[in-house]
Amino acid sequence: MQPNNLTKTVLLGMSRSELEQFVAARGIEKYRADQLFKGMYAQALENFDGLTTLSKKMRNELQQTAQIRTFKTLQATKSQKDGTTKFLWELSDGKTIESVIIYEGRRVTFCISSQVGCALDCKFCATGKMGFLRNLTSGEIVEQVLLMKERAERPPTNIVFMGMGEPLLNLRNVLKASEIIADPAGLSFARKKITISTSGVIPGIKKMADINAPWSLAISLNAVFEEKRREIMPVSIQYPLHELMKAIEYYVRRTGKRVTFEYILIGGVNDGEADAKRIIKMTARIPCKINLIPCNSTDPDFPPPTGEQIVRFNNYLLDNRKTSTVRMRKGWEIQAACGQLYSENRGKAGAKISFKSTNSIGKLPHKKET
């Protein structure tokens, strides 16, 4: 449960049962685990000093062998236009990640990361250019939420795994962190307001279906013709569109939930009437909503569509009885918008999956949580 460079045990990210094992190994009463759980998550304590339900001696002993938080806040950048705030965190091993708070009317969304970088190399996404460095631990995922809650103007209404990384390639830690965030004795956040987004990793979608995960599921679709999708999202080589749609139908059947399709509109690439017609046909049997997002890439090869084309595309979906919403740019000028998160990290560039054929997938470097 701790990065290798620490001598102290990191408690943040531990479940109740793990905390029970931790206190039992130190000869501490089992019920103290509940006090630690509530202290770390519900009370958001940064250290053991505020845990006054424990004796001073016990707090001092814990302080010698364990710790709660691990992050260092390097930077917070706020948009003067819409209040969007981007945070740069340094992890215990010196690597860095970004998270974002988005304000939209009454809606306050925490956009959190699940990995340092990403291996999937979507061509319009800045994070993909980093490559994959490692998975975040469950504690590092939860710590983003705790720190942003302390700094947000208002409490969050939604938490989305749409920051750095592919959540379904770190599913164990993502699910564990989500349980802590939703636990009534933890952060007590509404389960249906936590959304896990994926670029289309089919095994992860099926896993979420089989365990009937209570979280919402979002799919980054971004193209509805196979050749086009493979060009901008190499993951489609391994997990082609027709197989992805089957997996989504399976998920809907098993869970009874509707899904969200995130569709990045790229000017002249996927914003035509033929694309809109194809979306309608592909999603005909899937209860869903569609979020249209003008492309935020700084790469000139991936320009946003014109305002007129966005309206035309959206109206076509609405006229054909699809639930469709345009998500306008938030935090563009501070590079906090969708697909813009990028953080310089020490050492060599991260790994990327090599998609060589539809029958094989490059091995993703994986570092276990220890």
- DSSP secondary structure letters along 62-114: HHHHEES---EEEEEEE-TTT--EEEEEE-TTS-EEEEEEEEETTEEEEE--S
Give the percent of the chain with pLDDT over 90: 77
> Contact, 339 vs 295, CB < 8 A?
yes
| pLDDT at residue 361 is higher than 50 | no
CATH superfamily of 72-334: Aldolase class I (3.20.20.70)
Report d(CA 47, CA 188) in Å as an integer: 20
Mean pLDDT (whole number) for 93-99: 94
Task: Establish whether 98 is a catalytic residue.
Answer: yes
Specify the 3-state DSSP secondary structure of 195.
strand
* Burial (CB count within 10 angstroms: exposed 0-12, middle 13-18, buried 19+), residue 157: middle
Out of 176-180, 242-246, 311-315, 325-329, least confident range: 325-329
What pTM did the predictor assign?
0.91
Q: Residue 128: how many CA atoms within 13 Å on its side-chain side?
A: 17
What band does 334 get if pLDDT is binned at 50, 70 and 90?
A: low
Higher pLDDT, 358 or 157: 157
Three-point CA angle 76, 160, 46, nearest 5°: 50
| pLDDT at residue 363 is higher than 60 | no
| pLDDT at residue 226 is higher than 60 | yes
> Contact, 49 vs 106, CB < 8 A?
no
- DSSP secondary structure letters along 217-234: EEEE---SSHHHHHHH-T
Three-point CA angle 37, 159, 260, nearest 5°: 135
CATH 3.20.20.70 location in the chain: 72-334
Mean pLDDT (whole number) for 26-35: 93
- Which pLDDT does position 357 carry in this prediction? 40
Architecture of domain 10-67: Orthogonal Bundle (1.10)
Chain centre to alpha carbon of residue 113: 5
Mean pLDDT (whole number) for 189-197: 97
Angle between helices 138-151 and 171-182 (to 10 degrees): 40
Which one from 20, 98, 179, 369 is the annotated catalytic residue? 98
> Contact, 166 vs 135, CB < 8 A?
no
Residue spans of beta strands (DSSP E) within the chain: 9-10, 66-67, 72-78, 85-90, 96-104, 107-111, 115-117, 132-135, 158-161, 194-198, 216-220, 259-265, 288-294, 323-326
Out of 179-188, 235-244, 295-304, 335-344, least confident range: 335-344
Pairing of strands 115-117, 132-135: antiparallel
- Which pLDDT does position 7 carry in this prediction? 81
| pLDDT at residue 362 is higher than 60 | no
Instruction: Please measure the distance between the N-terminal and C-terminal CA atoms of the chain and give it in whole angstroms.
Output: 4
What band does 199 get if pLDDT is binned at 50, 70 and 90?
A: very high
- Which pLDDT does position 91 carry in this prediction? 96
Higher pLDDT, 363 or 84: 84
H or E element that contains 319: helix 307-319
> Contact, 285 vs 249, CB < 8 A?
yes
- Which pLDDT does position 369 carry in this prediction? 39
- Which pLDDT does position 340 carry in this prediction? 59
User: Which neighbouring-strand residues pair with 258?
Assistant: none
What band does 125 get if pLDDT is binned at 50, 70 and 90?
A: confident
- Which pLDDT does position 348 carry in this prediction? 60
Chain centre to alpha carbon of residue 109: 12
- 59-70 residue pLDDT tens: 999 999 999 999
Chain centre to alpha carbon of residue 57: 39
Mean pLDDT (whole number) for 238-245: 97
CATH 1.10.150.530 location in the chain: 10-67
| pLDDT at residue 98 is higher than 90 | yes
Report d(CA 131, CA 127) in Å as an integer: 7
- 35-44 residue pLDDT tens: 999 999 999 9
Task: Establish whether 338 is a catalytic residue.
Answer: yes
Which one from 20, 166, 338, 369 is the annotated catalytic residue? 338
Residues in the chain, overall count: 370
> Contact, 364 vs 353, CB < 8 A?
yes
The mean pLDDT of the chain is: 89
What band does 120 get if pLDDT is binned at 50, 70 and 90?
A: very high
